[in-house]
Amino acid sequence: MSLPANSAAAGSTAPKAIIGVSLKMYFGYARTMDYCREVAGIALGHPAVQGGDIELFVLPVLPALPEAARILGPAGAATGAQNIFWEDEGAYTGEVGGKLVAELGGRYAEIGHAERRMFGENDETIRLKTAAAYRSGLIPVLCVGAFAAVSPEEAIAQCTAEIDAALNRAASLGPAGRTIVAFEPQWAIGAPEPATPGYISAVITGLDAHLRALPGQEDSRVIYGGSAGPGLITQLDSAVAGLFLGRFAHDPAALKTILDETAARLAEAEVPA
């Protein structure tokens, strides 16, 4: 049974942290299923996931989505697509609409990743796809990030402009909804190390305040992606809601470590000073 779009676990309140994983195109079908089964076992045994404190999702290759949703859903995790088209249906050979992703059990749609720009995606494409995600009842995972290693102030200015462009355009096409923004500086994607904790915290503090001040985005949050892995979440400011993980979470043991670190961070934040 699939989970509600805005819930990490059935009956939970708003999550306090978000951990997402993109499998990109690294795994075949059989390995994807093995990964999902291992992650489901981890999620089932993790109090923070089961209690709804951590919202956990995995974005597999599209042909694996229905079975991934069947495996992960009962474990309190969710799935989605790494890309959607901006129209729901029609004569668009090879494309996949958000309505179909939702029908297959997906709850999220990654939009605007830097790697997608290699295929000619631009700001207008991202705006249309964000609107399509909302229209289909999917939570957009909107990727933003400066190409060069600019100052935190410059990164905030560039990324807020990207957020506004996508969300304002989407709002003009229909009702908006909750959004997860992934701050992914393009220079950190695929790098040996992520951006520094101080840099990440400074940028996301600004982005989070901006995002949640927008109409209808009070429950939206900003997470960090770009060579993120174990050890990073413990070094970040509380404004950073979580991580969007790639290759450093393709080992389920590493993902469990990150979930444990995230839960410990939440528990520490709740201890009175």
**Over the stretch 176-230, which tens digit does the pLDDT of each residue have?**
899 999 999 988 998 889 999 999 999 999 999 999 999 999 999 999 999 999 9
Is residue 235 situated within a structural domain? Answer: yes
> Does residue 153 carry a catalytic annotation?
no
> Given a cut of 90, is residue 103 above it in pLDDT?
yes
Which one of 184, 250, 268, 270 is the catalytic residue? 184
pTM of the model: 0.93
Contacts of 45 (CB under 8 A, 6+ apart): none
Distance in angstroms (rounded) separating the CA atoms of residues 35 and 108: 18
Is residue 1 situated within a structural domain? Answer: no
> Given a cut of 50, is residue 11 above it in pLDDT?
no
Is residue 10 situated within a structural domain? Answer: no
Q: Measured in whole angstroms, how far is the alpha carbon of residue 41 from the centre of its chain?
A: 21
pLDDT band at 147 (very low <50, low <70, confident <90, very high): confident
Is residue 239 situated within a structural domain? Answer: yes
Token couple for 186: 């393009």
In this structure, what CATH number is given to the domain that contains residue 207? 3.20.20.70
pLDDT score recorded for residue 82: 98
**What pairs with residue 141 in β-bridges?**
110, 180
> Given a cut of 70, is residue 9 above it in pLDDT?
no
Is residue 64 situated within a structural domain? Answer: yes
Distance in angstroms (rounded) separating the CA atoms of residues 182 and 203: 12
**Residue 68 lies in domain:** 17-270
Distance in angstroms (rounded) separating the CA atoms of residues 118 and 161: 21
Is residue 40 situated within a structural domain? Answer: yes
Half-sphere exposure of 5 (CA within 13 A, CB side): 22
**Mean pLDDT to the nearest integer, 142-169:** 94
Given a contact cutoff of 8 angstroms between Cβ atoms, the answer to whether 202 and 159 are in contact is no
> Does residue 121 carry a catalytic annotation?
no
Given a contact cutoff of 8 angstroms between Cβ atoms, the answer to whether 42 and 77 are in contact is no
Kind and range of the H or E run holding 120 = none
Given a contact cutoff of 8 angstroms between Cβ atoms, the answer to whether 33 and 47 are in contact is no
Coil, strand or helix at 63: helix
The 3-state DSSP composition of the chain as helix, strand, coil percent (nearest 5) reads 45, 15, 40
> Given a cut of 60, is residue 170 above it in pLDDT?
yes
pLDDT band at 158 (very low <50, low <70, confident <90, very high): very high
Q: Encode pLDDT of 214-223 as tens digits.
A: 999 999 999 9
Distance in angstroms (rounded) separating the CA atoms of residues 52 and 64: 25
Given a contact cutoff of 8 angstroms between Cβ atoms, the answer to whether 20 and 72 are in contact is no
> Given a cut of 70, is residue 272 above it in pLDDT?
no
Total structural domains in the chain? 1
Given a contact cutoff of 8 angstroms between Cβ atoms, the answer to whether 30 and 68 are in contact is no
Which one of 46, 55, 113, 261 is the catalytic residue? 113
Is residue 5 situated within a structural domain? Answer: no
> Given a cut of 90, is residue 6 above it in pLDDT?
no
The mean pLDDT value of the chain amounts to 92
> Given a cut of 90, is residue 16 above it in pLDDT?
yes
**Mean pLDDT to the nearest integer, 20-35:** 98
pLDDT band at 13 (very low <50, low <70, confident <90, very high): low
Is residue 6 situated within a structural domain? Answer: no
